[in-house]
Amino acid sequence: MRDLPDAAESQSAAVPALHGLVVADFSRVIAGPVCPQTLADLGADVVKIENPRGGDETRSFRHPRAGGNVSAFLAYNRGKRSVAIDLGKPEGRAVALDIVSRADVLVENFRPGVMARLGLDHATVAAIKPRLVYCSISAYGRTGEFSDRAGYDPVMQAETGIMTMNGLPEHEPVRTNLPFVDMSTGMLATNMILAALMARQVSGRGQQVDVVLYDTAVMLTTYYGHNYLISGEEQVRYGHAPLGNVPIGNFRASDGSFYLSVGNDRMFGLLCRIIGRDAMASDPAYATVAARAESREALIDELQAIFSTRSREAWVTLLKGAGLPAGPVRSIFEAYRSPEIRARGLLSRIRHPTAGEVPNIAPPYAMQDTPIVAPSAPPLLGEHTEEVLRDMLGYDADRLRELETAGAIPPRQTGG
């Protein structure tokens, strides 16, 4: 990791876009934490409120660790401050309400009804802080007959048809291992919060924002959903290649696979010249998009025979050099050592109190004049409890001792 740049070295003196915005983050796992992490990247002060007994569930995932810190927690919680509060105790709930009363945004993804039992529901806190933007992320929505169901990303992939779009047609449907429903839900929540903050500038009032995993998953079916709505027919898996254009998909070179995407007749003609088969471009069986779709298997077999004669690097170099979209099928190991990821400056390291340093993947966005903040390490559990209660809430030493005695906050900082 020492060969990665220090993320702090990229810090700008300009004021970030969300400087001064305070976020009370009650979220856990993935879909919730992605949203406040993005707000932190943009300059918000994100206070993550966690149970002193273990904190966010991702802290205990059986993933690789750096200095006792789990990779899953590190991935979704940079730039935040952690306050450990026992919300099961009235004294703890009072502290949480104090934090919320000073916040501009609240993010939570508990099961519907939990925040109400804690006295932290929208109706309660809006009466105290009418300008608060209150974002609730749930599996099936806060109301309706399915609202009490638990739900996670893989279940959403299964229930909404996404899983049936993945994999080869002759095999069972395949889950996408990357939690893209969770990630997309978190990104949509960020968009909705920013929209609500814009609306607040006009109305002077905050509002509740609802973002739902199931609804997001349905949205992610994109044109496959529209295909069904128009045709009324069941959709078919096409493996590595989508419905329609050919050739698009994986091809095997002599030493590995690469992905090629030829989306129109012009590109196909260019491909034919590259592979030394100019006559294929005018062959009636291959000359048009429709013809290539009808001759899918024969065309793919012919191309596969050609591509197997040279190395992956040789073909990708030729294809990319001609302007055709193509790239090697890399493992994560290969991708994170690729020239592209280095050229984009996507990897860095962050100083960390127990690990010394931890890796960081840069956010995939930038603004010309307003900086993304230099990331700080994801917090240790309860690392900032005393700091936040003292500096944000104005609690003195006696008040902190009272809360410790009541068990509302831990007696000292904890790690993990």
Q: Residue 82 forms beta bridges with which residues? A: 48
- Give 129-169 pLDDT, tens digit per residue: 999 999 999 999 998 899 999 899 999 999 999 999 998 88
pLDDT score, position 415: 46
3-state secondary structure of 327: strand
270: exposed, middle or buried (Cβ count in 10 Å: 0-12, 13-18, 19+): middle
Q: Residue 84 forms beta bridges with which residues? A: 50
Q: How far apart are CA 348 and CA 346, in angstroms?
A: 7
- Give 5-22 pLDDT, tens digit per residue: 777 665 566 899 999 999
Q: What percent of the chain shows pLDDT beyond 90? A: 85
The Cα-based distances of 343 to 238, 337, 347, 372 in angstroms read: 33, 11, 10, 18
Are β-strands 208-212 and 133-138 bridged in parallel, bridged antiparallel, or unpaired?
parallel
pLDDT score, position 169: 86
Q: Which of 382, 384, 328, 332 is nearest to 361 (CA)?
A: 332
Residue of 182, 265, 369, 396 marked catalytic: 182
* Contacts of 180 by beta carbon, 8 Å cutoff, 6+ apart: 153, 220
3-state secondary structure of 307: helix
Q: How far apart are CA 117 and CA 126, in angstroms?
A: 16
Cis peptide before 247 (omega within 30 of 0): yes
What tokens were used for 145? 């007959």
> How much is the CA Rg of the chain, to the nearest whole Å?
26
- Give 316-333 pLDDT, tens digit per residue: 999 999 999 999 999 999
Q: How far apart are CA 354 and CA 73, in angstroms?
A: 14
Q: How confident is the model at residue 175 (pLDDT cuts 50, 70, 90)?
A: very high
- Give 29-85 pLDDT, tens digit per residue: 999 999 999 999 999 999 999 999 999 999 999 999 998 899 999 999 999 999 999
Confirm if 360 and 347 have CB atoms less than 8 A apart: yes
pLDDT score, position 243: 65
- Give 365-393 pLDDT, tens digit per residue: 988 899 899 889 999 999 999 999 999 99
What tokens were used for 50? 């966690």
How far is CA 316 from its chain centroid?
29
- Give 241-287 pLDDT, tens digit per residue: 776 689 999 999 999 999 999 989 999 999 999 999 999 999 999 99
What tokens were used for 136? 């609730």
284: exposed, middle or buried (Cβ count in 10 Å: 0-12, 13-18, 19+): exposed
DSSP designation for 129: -
Q: How confident is the model at residue 414 (pLDDT cuts 50, 70, 90)?
A: very low
Q: Which of 265, 261, 277, 280 is nearest to 320 (CA)?
A: 261
Give the HSE-up count for residue 38: Cα atoms under 13 Å, Cβ half-sphere: 23
182 catalytic residue (yes or no): yes
Least confident window among 113-127, 162-176, 295-309: 162-176
Q: How far apart are CA 80 and CA 388, in angstroms?
A: 12
Q: What angle do CA 12, 15, 19 make, to 5 degrees?
A: 125
Phi, psi of 50 (to 5 degrees): -130, 155
3-state secondary structure of 30: coil
Are β-strands 22-25 and 45-50 bridged in parallel, bridged antiparallel, or unpaired?
parallel
